[in-house]
Structure 1
Amino acid sequence: MVSIESQEHQDLRTAVAALGRRHGSDHDRDALWADAAELGYLGVNLPAEYGGGGGGLAELSLVLEELGAAGCPLLMMVVSPAICGTVIARFGTEEQKRAWLPGLADGSRTMAFGITEPDAGSNSHRITTTARRADDGGWVLTGRKVFISGVDIADATLIVGRTEDARTGRLKPCLFIVPRDAEGFHRTPIDMELDAYEKQFELVLDDVRLPADALVGDEDAGLLQLFAGLNPERVMTAAFAIGMGRYALAKAVDYARQRQVWKDPIGAHQAIAHPLAQAHIELELARLMMQKAARLYDEGDDVAAGEAANMAKYAAGEACVRAVDQSVHTLGGNGLTREYGLARLITAARVARIAPVSREMVLNYVSHQTLGLPKSY
């Protein structure tokens, strides 16, 4: 296969794939995380002066994709180095960078990300978690969050709250680092049918008191800082989905080559072969859009990156679901057995359609921002 990637990226892809094969789908998550950290993969996107690899989303998404294709994706890579690490690297104070980036890069520290709320959903303008100034110059946070990943294993959570603009009285989004053991910061696990190492939580912030330096970046930057985290989240979700789709497809192709109930293996029949070929094409197309989005973001073009990141997330989510469905269908009854490990992906694949933004909201974004059509809301 002809690659459009640089030799450096091809070498990185090969090395990460080898790591993924060593651990496999039955991997020990902590051991994999430690190995990936030791090899420099977790912080490949973070600045070299703070212990990172000096690369960008292009490299980090490649790492996550290849681990996913080997059956051992690391979901916290989407959150800790990609969202939180990026935001702190771009907007954090020097003290925040020194405190957090080395640990995020070497895997010794992790950070969760809290934006979604029970009554806000995809409408970030309805976020009700608020931050007010305390008498000592610090902050007091009050509110709720839901479907927040990995809070129990993260050292802190980067919480999206809103502060009041003294000039206009309007609320604007701001980001705060909330330690896991902060007083008033409560978490309740959500009972999910999705079987994943990273659990989902509902959070309650009951007058959580934070020091002044818990605020990341400029209080007036607002949406700029927020989207600095959301665009990487979409790119990395695409990488997660593409890796999962590749893993499922590889299982189905291998099965179709060997499974023989008539004269030829079932893969010789177009009813089996063509849908698998279509799934491969869709995954490859999604990867190209993901690579475009990552490159635009790494080059600092936030507006173009936002459009491409949404498209990449949409394309990858759709391609992943179809690849998993067709792979399970190819194996028939075997596709639902633990031996082949595909049935669990039926639920997991839907995550890329739902999170971090639904496909319908992506279509809204493209119709409004790209095509210039009027809003219906």
Structure 2
Amino acid sequence: MSAFIVDTDEHKMLRESAGKIAGKYGQHYFLERSRAGEKVDELWADLGQAGLLGVHLPEEYGGGGAGMTELLIVIEELAAKGIPLLLTVISPAICGSILAAHGSEQLKASWLPGIADGSKKMAFGLTEPDAGSNSHNVSTTARRDGDGWVISGGKYFISAIDEADAVLIIARDQDFVGTSRSPLSMFVVPTDSPGLTLQPLPTAVVSPDGQFTVFLDEVRVGAEALIGMAGNGLRQVFAGLNPERILAAGISNGIGRFAIAKAVDYARDRKVWSTPIGAHQGVSHPLAESHIAVELARLATYRAAELFDAGEPAAEAANIAKFAAADASLKALDQSIQTHGGNGLSNEYGLAELWFNARMLKTAPVSREMVLNFVAQTSLKLPASY
């Protein structure tokens, strides 16, 4: 554990609980299922039954009534055991947070209890081939049709939708008339809706959370599918995007901790000419530097969660934490692989296969370049570049 992150008694118990469940399955289970293209349903069910997936959701809808800090602890501990689960960020964090903040009573009652106990999963449909970081450029449309809506378009790099019961879709108002961009709205769309089809999107990431292209061809939903106010989707979606950045940082920090712990154990035990390799500064100093970077990223991440839970502006802190954590974890993982020598590339040690997970988090859910744009324009008040 860290000398800097001081847990309350409740947080210690939560961290131990998450770590115990993760340890029950271990990284071998995660990698074995991922390589086979299978899911981690048993782990997910155990996390839900223990109240860990919905720890941040309102108690009246089956959640734990805690905050983003508590969910951060759960997600970081999973990754620290070699189990970086993207779906923990997507379903309970992004979708659960948006529904809790802006959903109707009907939507909350229908979805939050299941999201909290793990019996229901929800994917998040924002990105498109021509609208990655630029949410203003979403081209998927929704038009009013009687009492409901008809949605058409496509989404790209949508995680884990193959195991989701619904997808939260961001769409543009097709019928808007005005001089400005047409407003965006958010809808809960069941994944078995006629007209919704999935196409697998192969990647190098070893994970049970697959990526998909999603096609929506005249998909009809009722009026109850609308989240919050029509046309207010872009503002409402930020109830999920700051948690997304904070918890993505949590996954990175967990990967960093996992990598350093593996390297330290190896450097203590591995001997060359009767001397543990960890006694050599060429090994020990890079690991010490990696540890420092990961601990600083963890401090930034818990500070961002603290601000979010206090209702304070958290966008700057969340973006900085995500940036720092992604860089620190990748450096730590690379150094751990190097410390292991040839063994670092062996499947037995579970390091090389995590590399693409760690590398992905420099690009998603928001790229480091967009974080730098945000900091330059918002924190430093420099002229906008776009």
The bucket for the TM-score relative to the shorter chain is over 0.9
Shift of 1:8: 1.1
Q: Distance in 2 between matches of 1:213 and 1:166?
A: 24
Other structure's SS at 1:113 match: strand
Contact between 1:130 and 1:143, CA under 8 Å: does it hold in 2?
A: yes
Instruction: Name 2:36's counterpart in structure 1.
Output: none
Q: Distance in 2 between matches of 1:37 and 1:73?
A: 16
Instruction: Name 1:332's counterpart in structure 2.
Output: 341
Bigger mean CA offset, 218-227 vs 282-291: 218-227
Bigger mean CA offset, 103-112 vs 235-244: 235-244
Q: How does the TM-score come out when normalised to structure 1?
A: 0.96
Other structure's SS at 1:59 match: helix
Instruction: Name 2:183's counterpart in structure 1.
Output: 172
1:305 aligns with 2:309: no
Instruction: Name 2:166's counterpart in structure 1.
Output: 156
Q: Distance in 2 between matches of 1:233 and 1:293?
A: 11
Shift of 1:222: 3.2
Shift of 1:255: 0.3
Instruction: Name 2:35's counterpart in structure 1.
Output: none
Q: Which of the residues 14, 17, 21 maps onto 2:16?
A: 14
Other structure's SS at 1:176 match: strand
Instruction: Name 2:80's counterpart in structure 1.
Output: 69
Gaps of 5+ in 2: 31-39
Contact between 2:373 and 2:385, CA under 8 Å: does it hold in 1?
A: no
Instruction: Name 1:46's counterpart in structure 2.
Output: 57
Give the partner amino acid of 2:280. H
Give the partner amino acid of 2:363. I
Q: Distance in 2 between matches of 1:221 and 1:185?
A: 24
Contact between 2:91 and 2:123, CA under 8 Å: does it hold in 1?
A: yes
Shift of 1:244: 1.2
1:296 aligns with 2:298: no
Instruction: Name 1:344's counterpart in structure 2.
Output: 353
Instruction: Name 2:37's counterpart in structure 1.
Output: none
RMSD of aligned alpha carbons: 1.4
Instruction: Name 2:293's counterpart in structure 1.
Output: 282
Q: Distance in 2 between matches of 1:127 and 1:292?
A: 32
Alignment length (residue pairs): 374
1:27 aligns with 2:29: yes
Give the partner amino acid of 1:184. G
Shift of 1:142: 1.2
Give the partner amino acid of 2:354. L
Contact between 1:160 and 1:176, CA under 8 Å: does it hold in 2?
A: yes
Q: Distance in 2 between matches of 1:296 and 1:36?
A: 26
> Once the two structures are aligned, what percentage of the paired residues are identical?
53
Alignment of 1:65-214 (within 5 A): 65-134=76-145, 136-163=146-173, 165=176, 170-214=181-225
Bigger mean CA offset, 280-289 vs 104-113: 280-289
Give the partner amino acid of 1:295. E
Shift of 1:295: 1.4
Shift of 1:90: 0.6
Q: How does the TM-score come out when normalised to structure 2?
A: 0.94
What CA deviation, in whole Å up to 9, does each residue of 1:23-55 have, x standing for no partner? Answer: 110226211111111111011011011111101
Contact between 1:286 and 1:316, CA under 8 Å: does it hold in 2?
A: yes
Cα separation, partners in 2 of 1:137 and 1:167, compared to 1, 3 Å = farther
Bigger mean CA offset, 349-358 vs 27-36: 27-36
Q: Which of the residues 272, 277, 294 maps onto 1:266?
A: 277
Give the partner amino acid of 1:188. Q
Give the partner amino acid of 2:241. L
